[in-house]
Amino acid sequence: MKITPEEVRHIARLARLELTADEVTRFQVELSQILDYVAQLEDIESDVSAEPPPPDQPLRQDVVKPCADPSTLHRQAPDFVDGLFRVPRVVE
């Protein structure tokens, strides 16, 4: 399975990863190799699709349990202004 440099760049865009030209070349080779390796699964019979495990979802009661101090979370932000998280503007 051969991945093209365009595919590498497309995937990197989806994943929001900036890649250098070297990285594109390297990932093209490495990802192709790994995909070749995992292609061995094609030969395994698996017509029965994997059923999810028996449902056993523990639920939480609808009770408010607020965070003790949200300001500790605000302080983690790289840019926090007037109670709001700020990011650079969206350029169309």
Identified binder of other proteins from the candidate list 4, 5, 6, 66, rule CB under 8 A: 66
Of residues 2 through 31, those in contact with other proteins by CB under 8 A are 3, 7-8, 10-19, 23, 27, 30-31
Q: Minimum Å distance from CB 25 to other proteins? A: 13
Contacts of 27 (CB under 8 A, 6+ apart): 3, 8, 12, 19
To the nearest whole angstrom, how small is the minimum distance from the Cβ of residue 22 to other proteins?
A: 11
User: Which pair of structure tokens corresponds to residue 54?
Assistant: 């028996």
Contact yes or no for 24/47 (Cβ under 8 A): no
Rounded CA separation 4/7 (Å): 5
CA distance 30 to 26: 6
Summarize as ranges the residues that interact with other proteins (CB under 8 A): 3, 7-8, 10-19, 23, 27, 30-31, 33-35, 37-38, 40-42, 44, 46, 48-67, 70, 72-74, 76-79, 81, 83-92
